[in-house]
Structure 1
Amino acid sequence: MNVLRSRLLHAVLILIIAYAIFTFAIRPPAPRSVLAIYMGVVILATFVYISSNSDSWRNFLRPLRDTLVQPERRLVRLAVVIAIPILLGYYAYTQAAAKAQAPPELRAVHPAPPASIQFRGKEITIQGFDNPLRKDQANLRKNIAAGGETYIRNCMYCHGDNLDGKGHFARGLNPPPANFQDPGTIAMLQEAFLFWRIAKGGPGLPKESTPWNSAMPAWEDRLTEEQIWQVIMYLYDATGQQPRRWEAS
């Protein structure tokens, strides 16, 4: 029973249970940065708990002090002295060791778009086509706001609320979701290109985009043509990017 009353045991159990809850019970999984913040709060609260009075603090330190000075715990001390360098060495090795990587393959990140696509039985021109909603300047802000609502409902979970590709599900995707804040993404693409990619998703990519393709689903069955154009307008407006223009033929 004395073991069960040990403040050291209480502290260890609290940390283990908290880590297990934050790691396995929260869905979608919290980012590592958020997990670190939560665990920091738990560690601080645990420290306050075990140091709430002098008796509790002495109870917490007693097993540690006994391990260091009691002759009958010599084997425990020896195990600790051996384990600490091994664990530190293993951590250093995992940080410095070369990571296994897929062999390099030729892959087109932004493949050439098709001349046109079929969207819900309607043929939509892609090459040379501009966002038709931009012609309606009177409703420009309204369309952008509607695109933002659609993005939050459907796209934020992967691409993130900051449009930086760090949404809740991003860690589980390979390749990771596009970072729209990166000037090397949508700023390099025409709006019609984005329409094709959003409408057809990963399944609509040509063979030259393998082996990784894209985890994005085809949104043509979930979003209307207008909603996709609105989302595209929102992406450019929220990131401050300008869509690439088609080159004059």
Structure 2
Amino acid sequence: MRLHSHAFPALVAATGASAAAPSTVCTSSYVTDSLPSIVGIEFGSVSADPVYNYSVAAGNSYPSVSGRNFCNISVAYSHTLKNDSVRARFQSETKPSLANATLKVNVYYYLPAPSQWSSRFLATGGGGYQINSGLSGLEGGLVYNAAAGLTDGGFGSLTTSLTDVLIPANGTMNSDALINLAYLSIHEMTEIGTGIATNFYTNTSKVYTYYQGCSEGGREGWSQVQRYGTQYDGAVIGAPAFRQAFQQPNHIWP
């Protein structure tokens, strides 16, 4: 991975893009055609909705901005040879609260209108035992005309955490969910997202890819640059939640 001394905002520089209007390319069929081919991943449902003249309020990591047009995309996928329906039935029968947690993973992306695209992609992480920071986390990409993505890790919803799905029943562990949080789902979300962006913006020769996250999101960031360093051009990582053996006793100490 190439190291950079500046945060994500300073890395963004506008480049040319296709002149197509958002309504022309922001369709489920166009996005489906833009999906990359990835060994071991089987794509399911795809949705795409154009959003116009969107305003982003200032946050801790980015300033306010207005007048953004983007394509709001969601994609569901599963892993080859893993039986989602069997796992779903087992979980719903043993622990009803896990009925929505399957091996199906949902990823969400905001893709700027082609005229606002800067050839950048921002991968985002979560906090606590959440693998994402909600859809508001994607707004940081819009501020800098970058596509942005997040994943639900296959936990069933954007608000479901690892602790909700890790133990389906006594004596069992959902090891797939643990691996997804540990490193796999962020990697796949980034790989799918940059693949979509490459095909979605027809004149893009290079998608510059960055990661941003803090706490658990910081740990997730290190999992990415350590395992998939060549996938990223830079990473903004804050307060990575390492050394779990020390942290957890601190969390439960009265």
Taking structure 2 as the reference length, the TM-score comes to 0.22
Larger Rg: 1
Q: Which has the higher contact order (CA 8 A, sep 6+)?
A: 2
The structure in which a higher percent of residues are strand is 2
The structure in which a higher percent of residues are helix is 1
